Structure 1
Amino acid sequence: MVKVSIMGSTGIIGKNVAFTLARADTVDEIVMFARAESVEKARGETFDMYDALAAEDIDCKLTPSSDYNDLTNSAIVLITAGTPREEGMNRRDLALPNAKIVEKYAKEIAVHAPDSIILVATNPVDVMTTVALKASGFDKRKVIGIGNHLDSLRLKTYFSAFLGINSSEVHTRVVGEHGDHMVPLLSSTTIGGIPLKYFMKEVEIDVVRLVNRLKNAGNTIISKKGATEYGPSFAISNLISTIITDTHKILTVSCYLDGEIADVNGVSLGVPVVLSKKGVAMIVPIHMNDFERQEFREAAGVVRETTDEVLESLNYKE
């Protein structure tokens, strides 16, 4: 019996993750956790989802709830609750109000689902990952942010579309902050097994334009439709399914670093990890050129500054 709980289940991301995950047919029960005043909305979402799942003969149980006791025995608890980012807003603008929400939920998870893995989607996700870690008291391997997984998927798609080749031929990764200070690892990107730097000698690629598009992807979508929805939801569902099925894929998520990458300590950043049913099985060592390493360390500095401010406001002492 595999159970996943989603906190913030009536929000755009929460409900889409629930439906996407249910359709993946890898879990037995999804707890649609919401505030007491939103439980009926969550119930309505489950009715609508049941109708859709019936067409595919999927029997996932959907449980609307505002009772923390329903988190018990969850394999994963996803935190999506928080103030959504609006057009023109920096993810850091959300830090303090969302930190209070994440702190509250992480403490409840520690009480009611102490053996679970906490997956954080609330922005700014790197900062919120550390908040959830401190508030829950969990081992760092069991507190994971969605990090740069979606960013990596986006960059892969951009290269694929730009070159007119199947995306399976593109191997690339984004690390660092999920935000303005993300770091595309272009030095280790390959196209059809050929390092990008050699591929560019034969094919003209406007890498600068692609990277700028990547960094502005979220704001571009928000400016046109009001919120990001399908990309984050599918990326999160993919992370959850990877953990549950114990497939040991290497994906780029946010986790707390103790010097494993570029000697960065005491901050959560997006890095490649091996994901298993126990959480982060291993942080994967990566090669960065001098420029990428410097950018990664600068990202650490930016995220650490915001994290320290938030932790101080919440009365956590480093």
Structure 2
Amino acid sequence: MGRSKITVVGAGFVGGTIAQRLVETDSYDVVLLDVVEGLPQGKALDLSEASPICGFEPRIVGTNRFDDTADSSLVVVVAGVPRKPGMSRDQLLETNTRIVRAVVRDIVARSPLAIILMVTNPLDAMTYVAYQVSQFPKQRIVGMAGVLDSIRFRTFIANELNVSVDNVQAIVLGCHGDSMVPLVRYTTVAGRPIEEWISKDTLQALVKRTRKGGGEIVSLLKTGSAYYAPAASVVEMVEAILKDQKKILPAAALCEGEYGIHNLFAGVPVKFGSHGVEEIVVFDLTPEEQVALEHSVNAVRAQCQKVDQLLGCQA
């Protein structure tokens, strides 16, 4: 049985690290694509030269041509611009809608059976763009955010308690941003509820830190944003899909009534398999958790209304 072909669109820090983690699994043929000439080719060559030591076959190609991505099983889209000083959220939304629209059209033309995994921000809205432009079934469009937010929460808890991260189970729902909803009630350490381990005030501080997790890294780096943890999160999702693991992970998926959310991409627990999103797993939420989730989703709803206007203007 041949290897699955994975394309990563965007060869910056996040895309390049995703490509590295993928080739090091020694399971896939990887195409790294970027509009900047030489950038994907250089990174692909550098990764290939690491293969004798790292123990993988150098199955990676760097390119500026979408034709080289043809017949991909899965495409990870990282292409887009970060929010820059002085740039409004609407300007970021407009710029990245235009970029993602063009990228998705090129993907669809060459890999009509692919699963598209979105990473570009604003994440939930860009996943909606990919869905609208591709016209793919909802199972084949998904966004990465919940995995990243959840592993940040798990890391902060483990550090606070000085226990292994493997002992901590946590899940974060809602949109990727300040209104995300860590489900404290379902958070456990070695099977025991988190409230038995940490005071309420400390727990709320960890929740707040999780919501600001990306911003904390940006403030430390000064000129950049996170890429190691986002890349690891993407690869966990890729493996769950292409290895048909049936793993349940939080991700941005199209809700059609689940959690009271209709026709929007929102961060929810998803069972992943070879077809992509195989099931949205519904947790029982308290009234307070439901209100928090609805508040989180409202921000996405407003962005998607703006996206509809932008796509109409660009048609």
TM-score after normalising by structure 2: 0.93
1:69 pairs with one of 67, 73, 88 = 67
Structure 2: gaps spanning 5 or more residues: none
Alpha-carbon distance change, 3 to 67 in structure 1, aligned in 2, over 3 angstroms: same
Q: Which residue of 1 aligns with 2:46?
A: 48
Q: Tell me the residue number matched to 2:211.
A: 215
Contact 2:255 2:263 in 1 (8 A): yes
Q: Report deviation, 1:199.
A: 4.2
Unaligned runs of 5+ in 1: none
Question: Structure 1 residues 302, 204: CA separation in 2 closer, same or farther (over 3 Å shift)?
Answer: closer
Q: Which moved more, 1:45-54 or 1:277-286?
A: 45-54
Equivalent-residue separation in structure 1 for 2:148 and 2:54 (angstroms): 27
Q: Does 2:256 match 1:258?
A: yes
Per-residue deviation, 1:276: 0.9
Equivalent position SS for 1:206: helix
> 1:205: how far off?
6.2
What is the CA–CA distance in structure 1 between the aligned matches of 2:127 and 2:33, rounded to whole Å? 19
Q: Partner of 1:274: helix, strand, or coil?
A: strand
**Aligned twin of 1:15:** 16
Partner of 2:38, secondary structure, is helix
Q: TM-score, normalised by structure 1?
A: 0.92
**Cα distance in 2, alignment partners of residues 237 and 39 from structure 1:** 25
Distance 1:87 1:223 in 2: 13
**What amino acid is aligned across from residue 176 of structure 1 in structure 2?**
G
Q: 1:2: Cα distance to partner?
A: 1.1
Distance 1:89 1:290, change over 3 A: farther
Q: Distance in 1 between matches of 2:204 and 2:72?
A: 43
Q: Show the counterpart of 1:6.
A: 8
Answer yes or no: is 1:195 the counterpart of 2:196. Answer: no
SS in 1 for 2:229: helix
Shift of residue 147 of structure 1?
2.4
Distance 1:303 1:21 in 2: 30
CA contact (8 A) 2:47 2:58 kept: no
Q: How many residues align?
A: 310
Task: For residue 311 of structure 1, give the secondary structure of its aligned residue in structure 2.
Answer: helix
Q: 1:164 to 1:17 in 2, by over 3 A?
A: same
- SS in structure 2 opposite 1:246? coil
* Change in 2 beyond 3 A, CA 1:63/1:239: same
Contact 1:110 1:137 in 2 (8 A): no
In structure 2, how many angstroms separate the alpha carbons of the residues matched to 1:279 and 1:161? 33
Q: Which position in structure 1 is the counterpart of 2:33?
A: 33
Query: In angstroms, what is the RMSD of aligned CA positions?
Result: 1.9
